[in-house]
A and B are shown apart, each in its own frame.
Chain A
Amino acid sequence: MSGPSTYEPKYAAAKWMDKRLPIIRMGVDFMGFPSPRNLNYWYAFGGILSLCLMSQILTGIILAMHYTPHVDMAFDSVQRIRRDVPFGWLLQSMHAVGASMFFLAVYIHMFRGLFYGSYKAPRELLWIIGCAIYLAMMATGFLGYTLPWGQMSFWGATVITGFFGAIPFVGESLQQWLLGGYSVGNPTLQRFFSLHYLLPFVIAALVALHVWAVHHVGQNNPIGIDVKTKEDTLPFHPFYTMKDGFAIAVFLMIFALFVFYLPDALGHADNYQRADPMKTPPHIVPEWYFLPFYAILRAVPDKLLGIILMFGAIVVLFVLPWLDTAKVRSMRFRPTTRRFFYIFLFMCFILGWCGGNSPDDLAFTFGHKNVMVDGHEVSEAIGMTFKTLSRIGTIYYFGFFLFLLPVLGWIEKTKKLPDSITKAIHDGEA
């Protein structure tokens, strides 16, 4: 908890400043913020995310100086950046790979919160702001992917904006309003660029609220019990600046691995082809971080229902604090829920796998049977399709939030909580 400020200005200039705009005090309090002493490396991802956001904004601003948001020039301007702008290849790669790293970090950050029950009182609003950030990130990622105007940019944008067309009554006009026309075209590209530039600053403002909220309620911790005494905490600096700093350096190495050695591993080859409205690619797939939602969308035959489910998958996150009825925060003390959590994590990967494949292809082959095609007997594989698999995943996804968490909260016998963080550390339980 923040508590009263203990900062005392020493120098005349600092005192003068403190009376007028206590910004030094704010900084000092921030650095000395009492953090639970048992935070592990999963707690470094907030800092990592802040770094990702700054990196995206900085590289993005420079890219925008060289990029041209016009259907006839966008693709070439990206090539010019990669070839002719000094270190343009580095900036472009950092920005594109950075988006993936940002999502990787945010997913770990969110699963962390899920595991340690960080969404429970008094952190509901903190969690909800986090969900809003995630939503804004998804929008930014989608808009940004359109800008290079490759085949996947164009067709991804066409498919995603097509969802809006399926909304009853207002759908069609909504879609036209979003696109600035009847199909994805120059007006679309220009407004997407404008919004892609705007949204990161909205995210930055939301992050400020998010961090303010963390500092107001205090951080949760791996055992999920409240901080009781000053003994339970350590000042943020130097304890966590150094620990998180180390984690950040390790994260940057993974980042660098992709930027320098695998710059295309996370992208799609089709996006190196100029957008062609006359030529639909055989498979339209979104970026990896949208795949689980894409699988949920295609799990049902009805387009509208698919869209409702897809948005529903995000809406449940917003109301999660009221779905989980358990009093105990950390899953370390919830043995049954913890098992279901691991299955949930696994199902998210399964859904991602389904999202990257055609629904009618086989995920698993069980055997072969002979069928007649045009009077010839051919052997045909039988097994489970990706559609069936994504249905299982979708049912588990919603079942976890809407059934398991509310019910387990009532019936689960939780393990005994330690008396305090300090005691838990002493007993080797933290």
Chain B
Amino acid sequence: MGIKFMKTLIVGATLALGGLGVANVATASDAGGTHKLEHQKWGFNGMFGTYDRAAMQRGYQVYREVCASCHALEHLSFRHLADKGAPFYNADTPNPNDNDVVKAFAKDWSIEAIDQDTGDIIDRPGIPADKFPLIFPNAIAAAASNGGAIPPDLSLITKSRTGGADYLYAILTGYHEAPHDFHVADGTYYNTAFDGNQIKMAAPLSDELIEYSPYMVAGEHGAEPHEVAAPVATTDQMARDIVEFLTWAGDPHMEARKRIGLATFLYLFIFALLLFLTYKTVWRNVKH
């Protein structure tokens, strides 16, 4: 059976890979094809990849201080920031609604609500259970303020673009001087990563645009929490940090997914092995 099984396995794998290859070529072919994306090293890639907490926290600061004037995070609530695996998770306050850091973030935003006594529409400070507010009341307002282009939701941006994190990084660092024979239309900016090379978003990042706050690292094994100095906010550093944060925003359960995946594989492997041995035992006296 050994050879027969190997044959079946190889043919099966070829079929599967062939099919998936076709599928992949099909998806890749609509990436626009005008530019090749440069692959970056990300800690969250690969089978064992995880998010870098400190980078995500800095990334949130970039979002709050830069991108949030135009882009929303439609699918996030403040409490999500304090979930297990999220940037601001704190084991002492596992309930995200009790997380002090996130409470403070939420309070920093004003949320439209209905006054419970008068029924009037009021603005109140946010609480962790609130969703991140929309930046523009509607698509028309968004387009009107941005030269006709709508700043897309960022909570799914790494999922909704072919190339994901690499693409986002390429957009943010893709602002260069246009070649001489390239005409950049009014209100657009030359960007090497954007389809057509003209984007209606001005370069959002520039060196030392913001100043990273130092952050606290929870002391492990009962040690005192201590402060860690933040890196200098270069364009490249901010781009990497916001990519880290937005990749998490698009795929918040990635770490759990990979962890459970590993356990599942281990289980299936042992299960397959036992079934194989049983199969061999059951068939040992049968010529086939």
Q: Which residues of A pack against B, CB within 8 Å?
A: 37-38, 40-42, 76, 79, 82-83, 89-90, 93, 104, 107-108, 111, 234, 238-239, 242-243, 245-246, 249-250, 252-254, 256, 259-261, 263-270, 272-273, 281-283, 285, 287-288, 291, 349, 352-353, 355-358, 361, 425-426, 430
B29 touches A356 (CB 8 A): yes
Within 8 Å by CB of A285, from B26, B276, B282, B287, lies B26
Contact of B75 among A79, A242, A265 (CB under 8 A): A79
Distance in angstroms between the alpha carbons of A45 and B24 in the assembled complex = 24
Q: Chain B, 149-177, contact with A by CB distance < 8 Å: what is the 0/1 string?
A: 00010001001111010000000000000
Looking at the complex, which one of B4, B22, B256, B288 makes contact with A37 (CB distance below 8 Å)? B288
Known contacts A239-B283, A356-B23; is A256 also within 8 Å of B261 by CB?
Answer: yes
Q: Which of B20, B27, B47 has most chain A Cβ within 10 Å?
A: B27
Q: Which residues of B lie under 8 Å from residue A242 when comparing CB positions? A: 275, 278-279, 282-283
Determine whether the beta carbon of A254 is less than 8 Å from that of B286: no
Chain B residue nearest to A271 in the complex (CB): B160
| A254 to B272 alpha-carbon distance, docked (Å) | 12
Are the CB atoms of A288 and B272 closer together than 8 Å? no
Cβ of B269 < 8 Å from any Cβ of A? yes
With a cutoff of 8 Å between Cβ atoms, the chain A residues found around residue B268 in the complex are 249, 252-253, 256
- Identify which of B18, B19, B256, B271 contacts A249 (C-beta below 8 A): B271
Q: How far is the CA of A90 from the CA of B261 in the complex (A)?
A: 10
B8-16, B53-61, B102-110 - interface stretch = B8-16
Q: Which residues of B come within 8 Å of A, CB atoms?
A: 4-5, 8-9, 12, 15-16, 18-20, 22-27, 29-30, 32, 47, 74-75, 80, 152, 156, 159-162, 164, 250, 252-253, 256-258, 260-262, 264-265, 268-269, 271-272, 275-276, 278-279, 282-283, 286-288
The answer to whether B272 touches A283, judged by C-beta atoms less than 8 angstroms apart, is no
A101 to chain B, nearest CB (A): 10
Cα distance A74–B28 in the bound complex, in angstroms:
27
The distance in angstroms between the C-alpha atoms of A243 and B1, with both chains bound, is 11
For the A-B complex, the count of residue pairs with Cβ-Cβ distances under 8 Å equals 145
Q: Which residues of chain B are near A79, meaning CB under 8 Å?
A: 75, 156
A154, chain B: closest CB distance, angstroms: 14
Contact status of A282 and B30, CB under 8 A, knowing A238-B282, A245-B279, A272-B159? yes
CB-based contact B16/A254 at 8 Å? yes
With contacts A104-B16, A246-B276, A269-B162 known, is A288 near B8, CB below 8 A? no
Q: Is the interface of B mostly helix, strand, loop or mixed?
A: helix
User: A90 touching B260 by the CB < 8 A rule?
Assistant: yes
Q: Which residue in B15, B22, B32, B152 is a CB contact (below 8 Å) of A291? A: B22
Given contacts A269-B161, A288-B20, contact A234 B286 (CB under 8 A): yes
Complex CA distance for A4 and B112, rounded to whole angstroms: 75
Contact B20 A266 (CB under 8 A): yes
Question: 5 closest pairs, A vs B, by CB?
Answer: A356-B26, A260-B261, A288-B23, A249-B272, A272-B160
Please determine whether A356 and B27 come into contact, CB atoms closer than 8 angstroms. Answer: yes
Given that A37-B286, A256-B264 are known contacts, is A42 also in contact with B8, CB under 8 Å in the complex? yes
Contacts of B26 in A (CB 8 A): 285, 288, 291, 352-353, 355-357
* Assembled-state Cα–Cα distance A361/B33 (Å): 12
What chain A residues lie within 8 Å of B32 (beta carbons)? 282
Give the docked Cα–Cα distance between A406 and B71 (Å): 62
A–B pairs, 26, beta carbons within 8 Å: A37-B288, A40-B4, A41-B9, A76-B74, A89-B253, A89-B256, A104-B16, A111-B15, A239-B286, A246-B279, A252-B268, A253-B265, A256-B261, A256-B268, A260-B261, A269-B160, A272-B160, A273-B152, A288-B19, A288-B20, A288-B22, A288-B23, A352-B23, A353-B22, A353-B26, A356-B29
Write out the residue numbers on chain B whose beta carbons fall within 8 Å of the beta carbon of A41. Answer: 5, 8-9, 12
Within 8 Å by CB of B22, from A90, A252, A356, lies: A356
Check if B160 sits within 8 Å of A270, measured CB to CB: yes
In the complex, A111→B14 CA distance in Å? Answer: 14
Q: Please state if A239 and B282 are interface contacts (CB–CB under 8 Å).
A: yes
Residue of A nearest to B257 (CB): A260
Give bound CA distance, A250 to B6, whole Å: 13
Assuming A83-B75, A245-B279, A246-B275, is B22 touching A349 (CB within 8 A)?
yes
CB distance from B23 to the nearest CB of A (A): 3
- The answer on a CB contact under 8 Å between A260 and B23 is no
Given contacts A246-B275, A254-B16, A273-B152, 18 further A-B contacts (CB under 8 A): A37-B288, A89-B253, A89-B256, A242-B275, A242-B278, A245-B279, A246-B279, A249-B268, A252-B268, A253-B272, A261-B258, A264-B159, A272-B159, A288-B23, A291-B23, A349-B18, A356-B23, A430-B288
| Distance in Å: Cβ of B241 to nearest Cβ of chain A | 22
User: Shortest beta-carbon distance, A73 to chain B, in Å?
Assistant: 13
Measured between C-beta atoms, what is the minimum distance from B110 to chain A in Å? 23
Bound Cα distance A281, B27 (Å): 13
How distant is the Cα of A256 from the Cα of B269 in the complex, in angstroms? 11
Of A250, A263, A282, most buried by chain B (CB within 10 Å of CB) is A250
Within the complex, the shortest CB–CB distance from A321 to chain B, in Å, comes to 24
Q: How far is the CB of B84 from chain A (nearest CB, A)?
A: 12
Separation of A269 and B165 alpha carbons in the complex (Å): 12
Q: Roughly how many angstroms separate A254 CA and B261 CA in the complex, as a whole number? A: 12
Tell me, rounded to whole Å, the shortest Cβ–Cβ distance linking A29 to chain B.
20
Residues of A within 8 A of B253 (CB): 82-83, 89
Docked-complex contact A425 and B22, CB < 8 angstroms:
no
The answer to whether B80 and A83 touch across the interface, beta carbons within 8 angstroms, is: yes
In the complex, the answer to whether B8 meets A40 with C-beta atoms within 8 Å is yes
Residue of B nearest to A426 (CB): B287
Indicate the member of A41, A256, A269, A426 with the most B CB atoms within 10 Å.
A269
- Point out the residues of chain A lying under 8 angstroms from B269, CB to CB: 253
* In contact, A243 and B283 (Cβ under 8 angstroms): yes
